[in-house]
Structure 1
Amino acid sequence: MSGCVMAGAMMIALGSGGSFTLEWTHSVEREDWRETWEITADDRLHLTKAAVKGSGAGMEPGDGGHFEEGWWVWTPDLPPVPALVLAASGKTPSAWRLCGAGCVDLGAFSGQPVQVVPCSRAG
């Protein structure tokens, strides 16, 4: 399966498997965070893996978390969602970095939140 997501007005192609990663730096702890998302058969977004470089305020690894190559990694037990909404305050230490077939930075500057949805749901 391959596909794409819409992030604001941008269409972002995904590689085979229809998945993408979302990375950012935590605004308080200044530690890297990474999530892997996939598009489900019913065109929703499902969080399949989460990883964090450290721990601290709001950054505790989830159940079953284990240390792997410098990251705390776990599989979240959450239902798929129709969309992601990414804040764009312009005051965080990094933009959101969304990587599919290529990478793009989102929300680096103050503005409206950026909504990420499967292309089939964009409208």
Structure 2
Amino acid sequence: MGAVACLAAGGMVVRLAAAFTLAWTHSVQKSEWQEDWRATPSGLVLEEVRVQGSGAGMEPPEGAVLRNGFYVARPALPPQTEVLLRRSGATADWRICMDGTCREMGTLLPPEADPVRLTLCE
């Protein structure tokens, strides 16, 4: 069986897929940010980033190309052992997209669970 990602918070662990998208909307700019991740034996690999517009801390990554209204880039980031996701409650929740379906993180973990750790499943 291949590597799979997990979300963990408040004593709960939720298994994701090997490939998934993290998405959120900037609270001020209202721009969409999407990241495609893949779980590998080496860690979590950020494969592609898509940013809708720029400004207020939402600048597209270096080398990004505008495609279908999004700046698209393939960041040179080494595999990550953990990604920490914070939830303030003052903004819309993270969205997790797998197999063409997106869900708010609050449907997977309690809405007040913060921080949330994204890791490889054990």
Q: Same fold (TM over 0.5)?
A: yes
Q: Alignment identity in percent?
A: 37
2:96 match: 98
Query: Any gaps of 5 or more consecutive residues in structure 1?
Result: none
Q: Which residue of the partner structure matches residue 12 of structure 1?
A: 15
Partner of 1:33: 33
Partner Cα separation in structure 1 for residue 60 and residue 79 of structure 2: 20
CA distance in 2: counterparts of 1:63 and 1:32, whole angstroms: 17
Which ranges of structure 2 fall in alignment gaps of 5 or more residues? none
Spell out the pairing of 1:1-123 with structure 2 (5 A cutoff): 2-8=2-8, 9-14=12-17, 18-42=18-42, 44-92=43-91, 94-101=92-99, 102-106=101-105, 109-120=111-122
Count of residues in Structure 1 that have an aligned counterpart in Structure 2: 115
Calculate the TM-score normalised by the size of structure 2.
0.81
Give TM-score scaled by structure 1 length. 0.81
Counterpart code for 1:96:
W
Q: Distance in 1 between matches of 2:2 and 2:98?
A: 10
Across the aligned residues of Structure 1 and Structure 2, the Cα RMSD in angstroms comes to 2.1
Retained in 1: the 8 A contact 2:21–2:34? yes
3-12 vs 64-73, which moves further: 3-12
Give distance in 2, aligned partners of 1:64 and 1:115.
28
